[in-house]
Amino acid sequence: RPGSTFRRAARDNPPGCLLDPSLGTHCYVRIKDSGLRFHYVAAGERGKPLMLLLHGFPEFWYSWRHQLREFKSEYRVVALDLRGYGETDAPSHKEYYKLDCLITDIKDILESLGYNKCVLVGHDWGGMIAWLVAICYPETVTKLIVVNFPHPSVFTEYILRHPSQLIKSGYYFFFQMPWFPEFMFTLNDFKILKNLFTSQATGIGRKGCRLTAEDIEAYLYVFSQPGALTGPINHYRNIFSCLPLQHHEVVMPTLLLWGERDAFMEVEMAEMTRIYVKNHFRLTILSEASHWLQQDQPDIVNKLIWTFLKEETTRKRE
């Protein structure tokens, strides 16, 4: 019915979970070259090694809440709102969301934070960006951790040969349309957004760490702000701008974590990624986990990341 289809709840104030001091401090940094102001949440002492967290779609810094709490004991943990997301500036034209711009953002933010290298962690679209930063600026990444996204070359090669993955990635093509994808997300008070995290087909599974009502409200609050969907979708409107890649090799130790019940990415791509990593490569596939892995199985994910970080430290000492 039209009354419910076009109804939207008023969301003027952020839910309390977004202001939880245990997650860290809300900070802003303006990048000199682009002039854009980025928002991030930082936990852990300044001066500790940097762990930079890049979220996916449709997410924002809050998707890393479990990791902000976990790794602040030994790292300066920074969960970023990517260009166009949340409280980070959102240029109006889609040309400003080319992959080259997104990669440069990460390098510039690293320098603005006073670091020249980091442990780089990315999930989903943030995983794509993390792979590309590691390939283009290897000197800035000491260790690479990617969650549920294959090496970009694997993705482009696989999708061309496997119609099943092409269908799962159909939203990439839907997002090429102007304004209509944003409109569809708003229907029934952002029902599509809710369903992505909660439905049986795409959401966090029965054995996962379900999102609370307040968690879901946090996502609805951020993406219901005026124009808040256009920046994120503009990322996808430029996905064909720098693929295929000219350079492929990843030279730093790499951990790839994968939820096997991912509704959007076929698990076969995870193992194929191995050929592009010219250093220590560890792959762990979690059979009961969904696409939203670091929110779905945070305890296991955190343990696997700690093991990987300590393992490489020990190996270097030897």
Q: Please confirm, yes or no, whether 291 is among the known catalytic residues.
A: yes
**What whole-number distance in Å separates Cα of residue 179 and Cα of residue 177?**
7
**What whole-number distance in Å separates Cα of residue 110 and Cα of residue 114?**
7
Q: Are the C-beta atoms of 118 and 49 separated by less than 8 Å?
A: yes
User: How far is C-alpha 140 from the chain's CA centre?
Assistant: 18
Catalytic choice (215, 276, 291, 296): 291
| Pair of tokens at residue 267 | 């698990």
Catalytic choice (39, 236, 262, 296): 236
Q: What is the phi/psi pair of residue 60, to 5°?
A: -160, -170
Q: Please confirm, yes or no, whether 89 is among the known catalytic residues.
A: no
Q: Which residue has the tokens 């350079």?
A: 247
**What whole-number distance in Å separates Cα of residue 147 and Cα of residue 261?**
13
Least Cα distance to 93 among 83, 78, 103, 79 occurs for: 83
Query: What is the three-state SS of 163-181?
Result: HHHHHHCHHHHHCCCCCHH
The DSSP bridge partners found for residue 258 are 285
Paired sense of beta strands 25-30 and 254-259, if any: unpaired
**What whole-number distance in Å separates Cα of residue 120 and Cα of residue 52?**
5
Burial class (CB in 10 A: 0-12, 13-18, 19+), 4: exposed
Q: Please confirm, yes or no, whether 247 is among the known catalytic residues.
A: no
Q: Rounded to 5 degrees, what angle do the CA atoms 222, 227, 228 make?
A: 25
Q: Is 273 helix (H, G, I), strand (E, B) or coil?
A: helix
Catalytic choice (81, 105, 124, 296): 124
Q: Is 269 helix (H, G, I), strand (E, B) or coil?
A: helix
Whether a cis peptide bond, with omega within 30° of 0, leads into 21 is: no
Report, as residue numbers or ranges, the catalytic residues: 124, 236, 291
